[in-house]
Amino acid sequence: MPRDPRPGMGLRPVINAAGTMTSLGASIARPGVIDAVTEVLPHFVEMDDLQRWACSIIARETGAEAGCVTSCASAGISIGVAGAMTGNSLARIEQLPDTEGLRDEVVIQAGHLCQYSAPIDQAIRITGARVRAIGTINEARFDQLEAALSERTAAMLFVVSHQTMQYGQISLEHSIEACRARDVPVIVDAAAEQDLRGLIQRGADLAVYSAHKFLGGMTGGIVAGRKDLVRAAYLQSAGIGRGMKVGKEGIVGAMKALELWRQRDHAAVREERQRVLALWRSAAQSTDVGLSIVPDPTGNPIERLRLDFRTVTGTTAAAVAGALAAGDPRVIVRDEFLDRDMFELDPCNLHPGEAETVAARLGEVLAALPVAVDPGEMRRRAHAKRVAWPD
């Protein structure tokens, strides 16, 4: 492993047992990606031509008609929405976020209005578009979607994420059926999803992926889909997309990451992750903590170890998660279920030897049983620390 620069920056080492979280730097950039980026950095390129090259690779790897690279998946949502409103008219592109005379409504299920360190509807609203939420948090119906579609509808945004409501929602297939009848494109936010071909095959007009999560590339987003919509999204660089531009290193890194993803021995990777999960489970086996291997809720080929503290007296999941994060090295867990007194350990972003370190730290913390901590109070303190930045 290369030299660790973090101590020189005053940063404590972190072991990521949470997953591909932007707050932790998303994922480990693969060595081949680093090499490809290093090679291109000293050279000038014509960016439109570089994106044309990327377009052909994205089309090949996703089965889409075309594709482009942007600064991140969130930016991909914004330029996709903007493109659905403006088409390839530069005058309309320069007009945004003024949407006068344009289709300017984006339909989204209320159960898809998630938070990913920013509210997803903000990625829509910064284009000038209006959000048209349908249904309630736990139920959206086909007839509600049909009723929401009108001459003002520019697009529907469909979100595939563990952060959305996982039941009571209109399926992607039924969403496409309703929207296609009204000539409304469906944009799919699939930032952390590993199925690079399935969404386009199922009929999505645009699919937006992260280049720096499961792919292990540089920070960036990949937009794939219908050529006319990709063109309109790409041309937003003459408008609101200017502030979302990606550099040559991001484009080359994303394309190298796609190539390496196709070449990866996914069976061997999964086998190693199973070994890690078994190691972690063994480290907590002698305690009263409930242990289970749980699949990824959106169908990615990933399993995680869930630790359930509801039957443990004297401590809480939040307390154990806090103790792991406070140690040296810091071990950051997947904490979205702390209110249910559970957390998960994700094996997807580990350097050699870190799995064993996590197992040892887990055993130490569970043996000490830290004093119970309220997860709401933990979140309140984390919020106060964030808004006080850089103090």
In tens, the pLDDT along 343-358 reads: 999 999 999 999 999 9
pLDDT of residue 4: 84
The whole-number average pLDDT for the span 60-89 is: 97
- Rg (the chain; Cα; Å): 22
pLDDT of residue 1: 64
Contact between residue 237 and residue 56 where contact means Cβ atoms under 8 Å apart: no
pLDDT of residue 227: 98
Q: Identity (one letter) of the amino acid at 126? A: I
pLDDT class of 332 with cuts at 50, 70, 90: very high
pLDDT over threshold 90, residue 26: no
Kindly list the distances between the CA atom of residue 221 and the CA atoms of 4, 11, 19, 137, 231, in Å, as whole numbers in the listed order. 27, 27, 18, 28, 15
Q: For CA atoms 141, 147, 149, 152, give the dihedral sign.
A: negative
* pTM (two decimals): 0.92
The whole-number average pLDDT for the span 261-267 is: 92
Query: DSSP letters of 89-148?
Result: -HHHHHHTT--TTS--EEEEEGGG--BSSSBHHHHHHTTTPEEEEESBTTB--HHHHHHH
Burial of 387 (0-12, 13-18, 19+ CB in 10 A): exposed
* Distance of alpha carbon 371 from alpha carbon 313, whole angstroms: 10
In tens, the pLDDT along 115-167 reads: 888 999 999 999 999 999 999 999 999 999 999 999 999 999 999 988 888 88
* Distance of alpha carbon 373 from alpha carbon 378, whole angstroms: 7
How many Cα neighbours within 13 Å face the side chain of 364? 14
Domains defined for the chain, CATH in brackets: 6-24+265-387 (3.90.1150.180), 44-263 (3.40.640.10)
For residue 213, what are the contacts with CB-CB under 8 A and spacing of at least 6?
20, 26, 27, 191, 192
Q: Tell which phi-psi region holds residue 25, choosing left (phi > 0), alpha (psi between -120 and 50) or beta.
A: left
In tens, the pLDDT along 366-389 reads: 998 888 888 888 888 888 988 998
